[in-house]
Chains A and B, each alone.
Chain A
Amino acid sequence: MQSGSQSLWAGNLVTELNINHTDTGRTFIFSGRMDADGIAKVWEKACNGIDTQAGTDLTLDLSGVTYFDMAGAAFMVHLDRTAREQNMKSIRTTGLDPAAATLVERISRNELSAPAPAPPAGRIRMFVANQGQGLAEFWEDVKNYIAFFGEICWFFSTSLVRPNRIRWGETLRVAEQAGVNALPIVALISFIVGLVMAFQSAIPMKMFGAEIYVANLIGLAMVRELGPLMTAIVLAGRSASAFAAEIGTMKINEEIDALTIMGLEPVRFLILPRVIASTVMTPLLTVFAILVGILGGAVVILSMGHPFSAYYNQVVGFVSWGDFVGGMIKCFVFGVLIAATGCIRGYQTRQGPSAVGEAATRAVVSSIILIAVFDGIFSIIYYVLDV
């Protein structure tokens, strides 16, 4: 027999197992290569061939083996242990060369069984427990969110007293990354929304000869609702996830701990610049989105043969400054929510390889939920105030 790792394809001998029955027990005669590939063929046969009758002998004959490695050694140890569990009397191994014997000895030093994981509880209990835990975690999360949000507000108000403590350079960098660089995507989405909405509403309105009133529809919808909402959702996908990933990575690399130790509060150092930048940039982007959306509607109206001035007069005459201010207040709040959610989720990143991805997902989901909830709240407030 030959042990030692050569090329796995060096010998081409097929692994075989013959079982000889004698008066006192059984002999397993192995031949061929005893590597992982080889033993796969004989594993079942060998394990099933072990005598269940106590007091018989087992001999493992390895003299026909051409190659033997750690897989083979583990197999021998496994067979030996299984036979012992079946109370076979004497177990002998023959034809093992010294190098292979060393391997078998090395592997047999350990118990080849893994610690069992904790037994799962009953299904119904699991279900109830999971639901309860989910609810408890949700409330905990809401509390944490509000507390963290308060902390951000506190740091912001104290920074207002001494504005030079805010990192303006970083704020500008974030404003460029999360604001200016988002212009194309925001423009594209708003333009398409304006265009499609105008087109879809112009067809039925044309039946009444009222297609010029599409301008009123587009103007009002864009300024009050769709401009802020579309911008916020795009930014939630773009900025909130980026903030969460940036801060989450810093957390995993212990950079946040380093900041804390140096006496630089992470909230002031990392989160404030992002919140300020996002809060300023979201309304600006929204104004832009509204404009582009209305232009998208104009394309449809122009293509129906109306002059641009008619469309313009219709929009300006119908949409009031009150509508515009209402939309702006809304998107200002959205801006705060997006940045704060992204940063908070990033800050809550746990350890592990999937933690940052999880934080980014949570940031996007939470900010979109919050945007939807606050949009609803604003609708009610504006209705009650009759704005």
Chain B
Amino acid sequence: MKEPIIQVKNLYAGYDGQAIMEDLTFDINKGEIFVILGGSGCGKSTVLKHMIGLLPPVSGQVLIHGQDVVAARGKERTRLLRQIGVAFQNGALFGSMTVLENIMLPLTAFTALSGSAARTLALAKLGLVDLIRHSHLLPGELSGGMRKRAAIARAMALDPGVLFLDEPSAGLDPLTSAELDLLIKDLAQTLGITFVIVTHELESILTIADNTIMLEKELKGIIATGHPKDLKTDPANEYAYRFFNRNPGKEKKP
């Protein structure tokens, strides 16, 4: 079932007319766990921001369900955004609401659910990330890892078809991170949710990713694509090979 759900076409990513990534073109298929890889500061998060329509790219298109995220306005944009969920790097939970209220917010705002129904659905999502016991706390009272999990629960609140996760496992302990990987895999398999994940957690990339693109700063583009296991074992692509084998290399890349 090769059915592209997100198509990125000739995307020039960057701020203020300055492209840091040039001419990116790739497709993400339905139900796929797609990982965007790359060294620190290469522009992974910027590409992600373009893909969710938060930041207009220098040029190029991002299509979700065949609809241009960049050009969408008004109602069309709201409809498009309802089909995606985003968990930001630092959680971005609303500090004045409890965790439960944070998850309930999209449910009560976008559906006709009653308070107690929305509560039950929100608790179900919190159960998936093991946060029910902390649902009455304010985000300020949570640890970093909990905040991250709460953000993922909020991103899932409306059962979107596509979930964007920015560094989901950074700062999580190995056990929690492994549990999160399991959950992601499970959701992708049972629900057919498409995941777009920005990360450099090698362990989790190798366990869950179906497809990856690797961005490189100097090249301003995609240096490798494919299944992570192939990238790890294929020395032909030197940068990706070193990246996966944590080998800093003798000399600097040209």
Q: Which of A54-86 contact B (CB under 8 A)?
A: 69-71, 73-75, 77-78
Q: Does B51 contact A (CB under 8 A)?
A: no
Interface mask (A317-358 → B, CB under 8 Å = 1, otherwise 0): 000000000000000000000000000000000011110000
Between A and B, how many residue pairs show CB distances below 8 Å?
118
Q: Which residues of A contact B161 (CB under 8 A)?
A: 5-8
The 8 Å CB contact of B82, one of A8, A40, A44, A109, is A8
Q: Which residues of B contact A111 (CB under 8 A)?
A: 127, 132
Q: Does B60 contact A (CB under 8 A)?
A: no
The 8 Å CB contact of A74, one of B124, B136, B186, B191, is B124
The 8 Å CB contact of A107, one of B31, B112, B113, B128, is B128
Smallest distance from the beta carbon of B248 to chain A beta carbons, Å?
A: 29
Inter-chain CA distance A353–B147, complex, in Å, is 13
In contact, A99 and B132 (Cβ under 8 angstroms) = no
The 8 Å CB contact of A6, one of B117, B132, B135, B192, is B192
Q: Which residues of A contact B132 (CB under 8 A)?
A: 110-115
Q: Does A193 contact B (CB under 8 A)?
A: no
The 8 Å CB contact of B114, one of A6, A44, A112, is A44
Q: Does A139 contact B (CB under 8 A)?
A: no
* Closest chain B residue to A117, Cβ basis: B136
Q: Which residues of A contact B119 (CB under 8 A)?
A: 114
Inter-chain CA distance A185–B186, complex, in Å, is 61
In contact, B190 and A114 (Cβ under 8 angstroms) = no
Beyond A6-B192, A71-B159, A114-B119, whether A106 also contacts B128 by CB under 8 A is yes
Q: Which residues of B contact A7 (CB under 8 A)?
A: 65, 83, 161
In contact, A114 and B158 (Cβ under 8 angstroms) = no
* Closest chain B residue to A116, Cβ basis: B136
Inter-chain CA distance A1–B139, complex, in Å, is 38
In contact, A36 and B111 (Cβ under 8 angstroms) = yes
Inter-chain CA distance A106–B127, complex, in Å, is 9
Name the interface size band of chain B.
Answer: 35 or more
Beyond A43-B117, A106-B128, A112-B127, whether A9 also contacts B79 by CB under 8 A is yes
Inter-chain CA distance A137–B130, complex, in Å, is 37
Q: Does B123 contact A (CB under 8 A)?
A: yes
Inter-chain CA distance A9–B160, complex, in Å, is 11
Q: Does B247 contact A (CB under 8 A)?
A: no
Q: Does B193 contact A (CB under 8 A)?
A: yes
Q: Which of B96-140 contact A (CB under 8 A)?
A: 96, 100, 107, 110-114, 117, 119-121, 123-125, 127-128, 130, 132-133, 135-136, 138-140
In contact, B114 and A5 (Cβ under 8 angstroms) = no
Q: Does A103 contact B (CB under 8 A)?
A: yes
In contact, A36 and B114 (Cβ under 8 angstroms) = no
Beyond A70-B159, A115-B133, A115-B135, whether A36 also contacts B113 by CB under 8 A is yes
Smallest distance from the beta carbon of A82 to chain B beta carbons, Å?
A: 10
Q: Which residues of B contact A114 (CB under 8 A)?
A: 100, 119, 123, 132, 135-136
7 additional contacts (CB under 8 A) given A110-B127, A114-B119: A3-B191, A5-B161, A106-B128, A110-B132, A111-B132, A114-B123, A116-B136
- Which positions in B face A, CB cutoff 8 Å? 31, 65, 79, 82-83, 95-96, 100, 107, 110-114, 117, 119-121, 123-125, 127-128, 130, 132-133, 135-136, 138-140, 156, 158-161, 186, 189-193
